Structure 1
């Protein structure tokens, strides 16, 4: 309620629907005109009975088409002529239909029906006030959503209550009493219970909670006793006793159940928000760790080439590195990228490594791939740490070495297999200390991004290191 505007279109629809449903239902049951007049031969009474049903139905239908159909169309296309034309059509048809029942049932002879034009004026006034509230609270640098939501709810209630006062000839007075007294009283009791009873009990202030609980009961008893004493009507005291019994046995238990449910939702949302923030932070940190790690390895490769080879090969290496750095700068920051872009990045990396070691006869590099089904999206920089690890620990310029990579795609899934030789680092080799940066990060990312949708198998022996990775790219 503090962070965004409520869905008032639905709120208005349900509040107005509830009021008209109660009016029409009670009138059908004879709440205004006795149902015994039907078929009794008294035409005026029968006409008035049916008018108390159809007049509210006509007004409700006009509201439905105006508020739920015409207004949304105008908000979408902003065609003023269409708004005016449809509004006039609804106005004229509902006015004529209401006037026919109004005059036919002998409620009056004036076609300029006072309550009908009052209803139209109230609706227009409500829309004007709502527009003013939006400009006053939301069209600011920092929108005041809480003020807007509370103000609009109050305005909606006041306008509906005003309509009921204007329309009271056509329904039983009990509805007005319920809406004007009972509903506000229930809302006040719920607010009172939440802030002064429930919240204090939740924070450990049990004594204060009990005091406020009994204070409400005493206040209700005092109010009904005072009214009884002033009016001399003992039935009011009986009504008060029933109201207190309902408060203790019905309203308070229901309100506590609702508050517990609401508190549970709030705690769950807070927990999910914390998890979301933690995962987002983790992903950002993991990416920041991976990027510099690979960048330094690539620069070392270029440096080695520049010492051994001609400028032509160095230029080719720099071009591939440039493509890779562009990928890291522009696409590595996205949540997901096309799978073929990730594969292009792998190809550039392997090509760059082959340029570095192609003159070495004791080193074998194989990269087989099937690209026909490599469609869809994948989180960036998920595959490269495994391949980078293979070259980092599997290549030695003095010993026989190999890296064999197999990449294939099936419908909706990707499979990567890597075999590489192992050349153990000496205890005093600085690379040994930093050898675990890439793989732990990518394992954590896989758990965050593809939970239950990936399979990672890593095996090793004295001579060889094996990795198998399968990722289900599409959620089932």
Structure 2
């Protein structure tokens, strides 16, 4: 209600369609097949009162649901102007033919037809003005605009019914003028004075307001009866309506209010869950960043001890690229998949610089040379590769790490296979806490529920990871 404009085009269509359907049904039910002259004027007026509303609702549908939206989409004035003229012309001729031939109006220029057009145009002008005054950005949300426009729909429909009298709209006008406002008033009375007091534990106060409502209805009908010298019938009518309100309408409205409360509670719970998930995600990211930073610094430290300045310079360059990624993109909700791939490539290159001179270590990184398309949440791929270097490298025993990164249309796939060397402590990476792999599992559940596949298998000699993510 606050954040978005309500779907008024659909609301207007269903309200007007309901009104016309009610008029048509009212005319059908009011027919008297035993009328003596039903073969003559009676039957003509009967069918006229059916077909005129059908013509008008068809015209409204074509104009309101087809021509106006079509014009705003295509902006072709001559096309939609011509179609509007044809629709208005044929509806005028058909309505006039039924009206004049059956003595509903005396001349072809029917007042109710042009009054209906004037009310519709007035409604459109009113909506446009209210949109300029009440809709954002002039106001901070759509609530005032939505309330005013809903009220305007009710008001203009009532004006239409008032001027459409003589064609079967009288019962529907009474419904809109008296019954619907009364039901709305009873609903709000119940919500603010009865339901809320019961919910707060003030049962006696709620029952007092309920008794006051029943007595007020009875009193109103009694006064109407006295003013019309029909006191007993109106008294019993008021008594019947009071019983109906207390025994039927109030329980039904309570049912709707309770459903609404449950719905609101579920929304609050879901909002709280989303906020908690976002907080957890931010916390997980804050844990990941220092973890990667220390791993990379340890790699540079080992490389500086083992290699000459040339390799150290290359390592620093790659570190700079990775640090720029972490500073500028790591905290975003999503980044280009190509940037994640480049970060992963730099990480593996740093590890290769450190480990290239060790004959027992075999590192193989397979990836497509073409750019990867799509968006992905950052730092989802690197923890599995980092885990492979952490547990899959030994400087004294045969070790292997095989990485395969594939970017397809709408998905990314990572396979990591590495040897396992538990218990060795010569590599500084072994001292890290291993929090990255746990974090990435939690982030996958938060960010890609039902849209990722993570398979992890291991035995005494090797460790295998397969990760697929639908972007």
> Smaller-chain TM-score range?
0.7 to 0.9
Match of 2:64 among 64, 67, 72: 67
Match of 1:138 among 128, 135, 138: 135
Distance in 2 (alpha carbons) for counterparts of 1:353 and 1:243:
84
For residues 311-350 of structure 1, what are the structure 2 equivalents within 5 Å?
311-329=309-327, 332-336=330-334, 342-350=340-348
For residues 168-247 of structure 1, what are the structure 2 equivalents within 5 Å?
168-171=165-168, 173-233=170-230, 234-247=232-245
Q: Contact between 2:334 and 2:377, CA under 8 Å: does it hold in 1?
A: yes
Greater displacement, 371-380 / 192-201: 371-380
Q: Which residue of 2 aligns with 1:470?
A: 466
Q: Contact between 2:361 and 2:398, CA under 8 Å: does it hold in 1?
A: yes
1:128-171 Cα shifts (integer Å, max 9, x gaps)? 11111111111434434221111111111111111101001100
The RMSD of aligned alpha carbons is 3.2
Q: Which residue of 1 aligns with 2:261?
A: 263
Give the deviation of 1:59 after TM superposition. Answer: 1.1
Q: Which residue of 2 aligns with 1:276?
A: 274
Q: Which residue of 2 aligns with 1:20?
A: 20
Q: Contact between 1:405 and 1:419, CA under 8 Å: does it hold in 2?
A: no
Distance in 2 (alpha carbons) for counterparts of 1:405 and 1:66:
65
Give the deviation of 1:180 after TM superposition. Answer: 1.0
Distance in 1 (alpha carbons) for counterparts of 2:422 and 2:215:
83
1:349-383 Cα shifts (integer Å, max 9, x gaps)? 1221110122234x514335476999876543223
What SS does the aligned partner of 1:129 have?
helix
With over 3 angstroms needed to count, the CA separation of the structure-2 counterparts of 1:340 and 1:146, relative to structure 1, is closer
Give the deviation of 1:444 after TM superposition. Answer: 1.7
Q: Contact between 2:368 and 2:407, CA under 8 Å: does it hold in 1?
A: no
Q: Contact between 2:384 and 2:416, CA under 8 Å: does it hold in 1?
A: no
Give the deviation of 1:67 after TM superposition. Answer: 0.8
What SS does the aligned partner of 1:143 have?
coil
Q: Contact between 1:376 and 1:473, CA under 8 Å: does it hold in 2?
A: no
Runs of 5+ unmatched residues, structure 2:
none
With over 3 angstroms needed to count, the CA separation of the structure-2 counterparts of 1:241 and 1:407, relative to structure 1, is same
Q: Which residue of 2 aligns with 1:121?
A: 118
Match of 1:380 among 365, 373, 378: 378
Distance in 1 (alpha carbons) for counterparts of 2:214 and 2:152:
30
What SS does the aligned partner of 1:170 have?
coil
Greater displacement, 339-348 / 245-254: 339-348
Distance in 2 (alpha carbons) for counterparts of 1:447 and 1:468:
20
1:266-293 Cα shifts (integer Å, max 9, x gaps)? 1111111111122222222322321232
Q: Which residue of 2 aligns with 1:4?
A: 4
Greater displacement, 387-396 / 142-151: 387-396
Distance in 1 (alpha carbons) for counterparts of 2:172 and 2:449:
55
Distance in 2 (alpha carbons) for counterparts of 1:38 and 1:291:
92
For residues 297-308 of structure 1, what are the structure 2 equivalents within 5 Å?
297-308=295-306
1:15-43 Cα shifts (integer Å, max 9, x gaps)? 111110010112123x2x5344598431x
1:158-187 Cα shifts (integer Å, max 9, x gaps)? 111111010011005322211210111111
Greater displacement, 289-298 / 124-133: 289-298
Q: Which residue of 2 aligns with 1:108?
A: 105
With over 3 angstroms needed to count, the CA separation of the structure-2 counterparts of 1:261 and 1:372, relative to structure 1, is farther
Distance in 1 (alpha carbons) for counterparts of 2:48 and 2:422:
92
Q: Which residue of 1 aligns with 2:441?
A: 443
Q: Contact between 1:301 and 1:356, CA under 8 Å: does it hold in 2?
A: yes
Q: Contact between 1:339 and 1:376, CA under 8 Å: does it hold in 2?
A: yes
Q: Contact between 1:415 and 1:469, CA under 8 Å: does it hold in 2?
A: yes
Distance in 2 (alpha carbons) for counterparts of 1:311 and 1:51:
98
Distance in 2 (alpha carbons) for counterparts of 1:228 and 1:415:
86
1:402 aligns with 2:399: yes
Q: Contact between 1:401 and 1:421, CA under 8 Å: does it hold in 2?
A: no
For residues 397-436 of structure 1, what are the structure 2 equivalents within 5 Å?
399-400=396-397, 402-407=399-404, 414-424=414-424, 435-436=433-434
Q: Contact between 2:392 and 2:399, CA under 8 Å: does it hold in 1?
A: yes
Distance in 2 (alpha carbons) for counterparts of 1:338 and 1:367:
24
Give the deviation of 1:467 after TM superposition. Answer: 4.2
Give the deviation of 1:117 after TM superposition. Answer: 0.7
Match of 1:288 among 286, 289, 294: 286
Give the deviation of 1:343 after TM superposition. Answer: 4.5
Give the deviation of 1:195 after TM superposition. Answer: 2.0
**Length-normalised TM-score, structure 1:** 0.86
Number of aligned residues: 465
Q: Contact between 1:118 and 1:166, CA under 8 Å: does it hold in 2?
A: yes
Distance in 2 (alpha carbons) for counterparts of 1:439 and 1:108:
82
Distance in 2 (alpha carbons) for counterparts of 1:430 and 1:196:
70
With over 3 angstroms needed to count, the CA separation of the structure-2 counterparts of 1:286 and 1:90, relative to structure 1, is same
Greater displacement, 342-351 / 243-252: 342-351
